[in-house]
Structure 1
Amino acid sequence: LGTPKVIWEGSPSAGAELATGKFIADGHILENPENNQNLWLGGDVWQATNLNNNWLEYLHSFRWLIDLYHAENEDGAKKRGQELVAAWIEQNTRWREISWRADVVGERNTNWLIYAPLILDTEDLTYRRRVLDMIARQARYLMNISTNAWVIPNNLKAIIGLILSGLFVPGGEGWLKEGCSLLKVAVEKEVFIDSSLRSEAPQKLLQLYLSFVLLGEAFKQAGREEPEEVLGAILRIEINLKNIIHGDGKLALFNGAGIQGGKDIRLALLKISQKSNKLERPEQSGLARIEKSKSLIIMDVGPPPELNMSAASHCGTHAFEMSRGRERLIVNCGGAPFINEDGASLIATNLRGSEAHSTLVLNNQNSSEIRKDGLIGLGVTKVSSRMIEGRGKVLIESEHDGYVLSCGYLHKRLIYASETGESIRGEDIIEHHKISKSIEVVPFNIRFHLHPNVSVTQSDREDMLCLRLENGEEWYFRCRGAERSLKSSIYFGEEEKGTATKQIVLSGKTGGPITTVLWSLQLK
């Protein structure tokens, strides 16, 4: 059995916890109601109940092996990894909805192959044979369902697992051939020619990017020519990935992304020598980016993805984030995919709503409906945007129709940045749409969620707030056309339980066919 080379770094601290029985994903601990220390001993975790799908996918894909592999106690990590693999095989020989879902199977085979030095380094020949038999069985399973590849969610994970099995398992030529054939079509289907993934989820974008880089390295390691689809996908995804990274090297918080994985992003980008082209139009990726000196603004200018791809999508059209160097100023609230406590479903739904984003909310409604089945329904269908540059200044103009059917209004947002990036001006316009015969008076709130490290004080002038960054920079916030207030917020970008923070809210009611609110951020 050959194995792909380990090219990504895990978390030694999370690996050390896992070796003792504690599972940690993106900073979230998997709680065990039967153990006051949240330890999962032996193979107990495979019998866990009431876990959400994110945890089930994380566990059964063996995504956590990357952390266990990098734990300092190598012997303890091997013992724990082999214990968990043996228990999984014992308890999952029959089909189950999550553990035998094709994308999970593909990712599991990928991880078992990569971390074979961890899970197969033993003199127990019976155990080794069972693991190798299961790897082959999983590859055959992927091969058998390959004719239905296009109805498989996240089918690229399944295809990549099939290809790696073909590259490194003896006798796997048929799997390799079928996987490469599927890959060619999948890249065109899943990775748009304009570099936009259909789900528009930054976390998925990063995971796929890392998978394709790994796949390219695996072909080279096996002494085979890298398919042009692999390099093409890497370059296409790289364009979008660069577009959603803040000055701290980590992801912007759109569509549930967390900021973990900054090191992975930098390492991945370093492995690709080609220079990808810059996006010419913001609508190409669904996100527009202004970068002036140390100031960076990323704005959502895309509609939600198509219905069947929207399970993890947020209602954040026209939301924006702003960072200054490595420090974040304006943020979205983020996502909490691994919260598994009471009320977790409500928390996750609220974080997907428009109010959890730095954007306008009309009539206390989401810009797009979150249906009972979790998919995105009626709301934004069209977003028109453009970026204008001249004399070093940049202006983003965007318009969406998310509130036309429910309230009769369009939302237009303009954000301007000076050539130095030290003066940011915004304009939110609520404009009556001709489809609505009457002009209704409806309330609005424009929210600016602040990063927890930003302190807010009233300035000497009553019309200004002073926002102070950890590096000592002070920014003055002003507005006109709405009543300003400072309210509590919560930030799920980093911490397991969420971090308390503040938000600036500009409130009012529509006053005729056009209502305009002006706001600005000025460096002191």
Structure 2
Amino acid sequence: MAESPQIAVMTVQEAWRRLRRRLRVGPLHRLRFVGVAPDRLAVIPPTLQHGDPFIAEAIYAGRFHLAGRLVEAVRGSIFQAEPPSEEFAAELHGFAWLRHHAAAGDALAGKNARALVSDWLRLSSGRVSGPAFEPEVAARRLISWLKHADLLLGSADYEFYRRCLKSLTSQSRYLRSVAQEAPAGMPRLMVRMAIALASLCLPMPAGRTRAAVQALADELDRQILADGGHASRNPAALAAILAELLPIRETLIGQGQPVPKGIYSAIDRMLPALRFFRHADGTLAQFNGTGPSDMQLMAALMRFDETLGEPLSHARHSGYHRLTAGGSVVIADTGCPPPVALSREAHAGTLAFEFSSGMARIVVNCGAPPPGQPALRRLSRSTAAHSTVTLADRSSSRFAGQPHLDRFLGSPLVPGPSAVRVDGIATDSPGRPIGFQATHDGYEREFGIRHSRRLELSTDGERLFGEDRLDVTRRPRGRSEPETAALRFHLHPQVSVETLGETVRLSLRGQVWRFAADQAVSVEDSILFADHSGSRRTLQLVVTVDPLLTPHVTWVFERLS
């Protein structure tokens, strides 16, 4: 297959990266991780993420619900239990759950948090290997311990205090050693943020602090695009990065240290980009790995956004379009998949869109499920899980490898659309709809067909018109012609559906909309993966045609009341 050389190259590169990291933490190199530890922290950084005291109570009772799995540590330490999945182990050793103890804020929560950290120091810190010392996991743990140092160290005895500071120092040295060998994308950026934060909190020479902060700025320059999006094209990545980056900037300012231009610039680009991906209800559009939105975090991040006015209509570098009129919002994926090395969580959703009106989401994508559900994760990445067109039940991007390779490579997208052409629609005349037309070649290699989609939103936001074209460019090579094309419109679970003849009536939050197409419409089952309560059943509107006999379909969402 055409993607085999790319997979072979990626496999060799990943194996070489892992070997280099292993060499950096060998017996001789581990001596670099030990040394004199400071007797105090220079500063405790702020945190923008809040927890749930009830989860802290469950953890105190020995119930750890992480990555979609529940483990009860009724006897012995949770760090002695066999983790049910790699994702569970990563979340356990990442210690982000300390925020729940901080939210509880009482002496019992602090005592339990110190006991769990003490267990980790006793049981997991000796071997610099395994899931606890994956670079991203170690970075998240270091950040969490520093942010919740008040909780851990405020009432700690001297022995625990010294052990904790010694471990913080050792972990920061470990991350400096493996930073270059961290996987590309978010893991490497998280490592750089952890090193920068540690250099500010643990007393270090000024030169080392400046170098750590500048290295972070340089990595931001590489990963944050000119329009503020992340190179992975995942909208949720922006919230995750800003949640750690803003406290670093505030700590720099609080200590009277200069903030590198790269950090200021990245934040100034990312905050408007985050607003670009938000619906009116505050949730993020569900593209390329975005799951349920943390509404408290989103509100905290938006307080730092000092820009005014509407977001851009076209995030050209990120590959997205946004239409806004009369309280309605359309957000569409009009870009190629991210670079192969950054596509481990990317979705095959080219030309998919989401549509909301006021506080009501109408058309959505299925979104990403919580970690630890590989079968659902693979399903959620398919084109059929997005509000776009599928040909012969195939995805517009191919998923590399087999399930047994997922743990090694993460199932990147190869190949996918290599070109997406986007044309705006002139809006010179008053009252003329706003919109765009985009074309991608994701199905051309296999079926010799290009998919074009045109979206137009009326100026009052009460009518969304769409047109999908399937243009044959050549005869398919070695495969039969596609017999079916399906236009899918996944609906939010709050939407009630009623079929009235050839049209469909949609009711939600006091609004009534009509959907109609120039071809037959069916109502089928669907599922929303991205929900805090777990996967939820919902419905989808489907228009199925023979692409060779009916290459052109028009449809419309129109508000009735």
TM-score exceeds 0.5: yes
Measure, in 2, the Cα distance between the counterparts of 1:184 and 1:399.
35
Relative to 1, partners in 2 of residues 1:24 and 1:242: Cα closer, same or farther, differing over 3 Å?
Answer: farther
Kindly indicate whether residue 270 of structure 2 is the aligned counterpart of residue 237 of structure 1: yes
Alignment of 1:233-272 (within 5 A): 233-272=266-305
Measure, in 2, the Cα distance between the counterparts of 1:44 and 1:280.
48
Counterpart residue identity of residue 154, structure 1: P
Deviates more, 1:99-108 or 1:155-164: 99-108
Report the CA distance between 1:507 and its aligned residue: 0.5
State whether residues 94 and 132 of structure 2, in contact with CA within 8 Å, keep that contact through their aligned partners in structure 1: yes
Corresponding pairs, count = 506
Cα distance per residue 1:348-370 (max 9 Å; x no partner): 10011111111100011011011
Find the partner of 2:536 among 499, 502, 508. 499
Measure, in 1, the Cα distance between the counterparts of 2:54 and 2:425.
46
The aligned residue for residue 52 of structure 1 is 86
The aligned residue for residue 523 of structure 1 is 559
| SS of corresponding position for 2:544 | strand
The aligned residue for residue 362 of structure 1 is 391
Measure, in 2, the Cα distance between the counterparts of 1:152 and 1:355.
26
The aligned residue for residue 420 of structure 1 is 460
Cα distance per residue 1:383-402 (max 9 Å; x no partner): 11133251342112111111
Deviates more, 1:380-389 or 1:161-170: 380-389
State whether residues 214 and 260 of structure 2, in contact with CA within 8 Å, keep that contact through their aligned partners in structure 1: no
Measure, in 1, the Cα distance between the counterparts of 2:309 and 2:230.
16
State whether residues 189 and 216 of structure 2, in contact with CA within 8 Å, keep that contact through their aligned partners in structure 1: yes
| SS of corresponding position for 2:425 | strand
The aligned residue for residue 89 of structure 1 is 121
Alignment of 1:172-251 (within 5 A): 173-251=206-284
Question: CA-atom RMSD, angstroms?
Answer: 2.3
Measure, in 2, the Cα distance between the counterparts of 1:40 and 1:251.
38
The aligned residue for residue 431 of structure 1 is 471
Residue ranges of structure 2 left out of the alignment (5+ in a row):
1-40
The aligned residue for residue 18 of structure 1 is 59
Deviates more, 1:495-504 or 1:412-421: 495-504
Report the CA distance between 1:273 and its aligned residue: 2.7
Find the partner of 1:30 among 69, 86, 89. 69
Relative to 1, partners in 2 of residues 1:478 and 1:389: Cα closer, same or farther, differing over 3 Å?
Answer: same
The aligned residue for residue 9 of structure 1 is 50
Cα distance per residue 1:464-485 (max 9 Å; x no partner): 110000x22110110113x321
Measure, in 1, the Cα distance between the counterparts of 2:150 and 2:387.
46
The aligned residue for residue 473 of structure 1 is 511
Counterpart residue identity of residue 515, structure 2: F
Relative to 1, partners in 2 of residues 1:276 and 1:88: Cα closer, same or farther, differing over 3 Å?
Answer: farther
Kindly indicate whether residue 438 of structure 2 is the aligned counterpart of residue 402 of structure 1: no
Output the TM-score relative to the length of structure 2.
0.85
Relative to 1, partners in 2 of residues 1:323 and 1:125: Cα closer, same or farther, differing over 3 Å?
Answer: same
Identical-pair percentage = 27
| SS of corresponding position for 1:273 | coil
State whether residues 328 and 356 of structure 2, in contact with CA within 8 Å, keep that contact through their aligned partners in structure 1: yes
Measure, in 1, the Cα distance between the counterparts of 2:201 and 2:343.
35
Measure, in 1, the Cα distance between the counterparts of 2:252 and 2:417.
42
Output the TM-score relative to the length of structure 1.
0.91
Relative to 1, partners in 2 of residues 1:495 and 1:180: Cα closer, same or farther, differing over 3 Å?
Answer: closer
Measure, in 1, the Cα distance between the counterparts of 2:185 and 2:389.
36
Report the CA distance between 1:82 and its aligned residue: 1.1
Find the partner of 1:171 among 185, 204, 218. 204
Deviates more, 1:175-184 or 1:224-233: 175-184
Find the partner of 2:420 among 349, 359, 383. 383
Report the CA distance between 1:101 and its aligned residue: 2.2
Measure, in 1, the Cα distance between the counterparts of 2:291 and 2:135.
25
Relative to 1, partners in 2 of residues 1:414 and 1:98: Cα closer, same or farther, differing over 3 Å?
Answer: same
Relative to 1, partners in 2 of residues 1:397 and 1:42: Cα closer, same or farther, differing over 3 Å?
Answer: farther
Measure, in 2, the Cα distance between the counterparts of 1:291 and 1:192.
23
Report the CA distance between 1:406 and its aligned residue: 0.9
| SS of corresponding position for 1:247 | coil
State whether residues 229 and 235 of structure 2, in contact with CA within 8 Å, keep that contact through their aligned partners in structure 1: no
Measure, in 1, the Cα distance between the counterparts of 2:182 and 2:532.
36
Structure 1 runs, 4 residues or longer, greater than 6 Å off = none
| SS of corresponding position for 1:476 | strand
Relative to 1, partners in 2 of residues 1:166 and 1:303: Cα closer, same or farther, differing over 3 Å?
Answer: same
Measure, in 1, the Cα distance between the counterparts of 2:68 and 2:481.
47
The aligned residue for residue 442 of structure 1 is 483
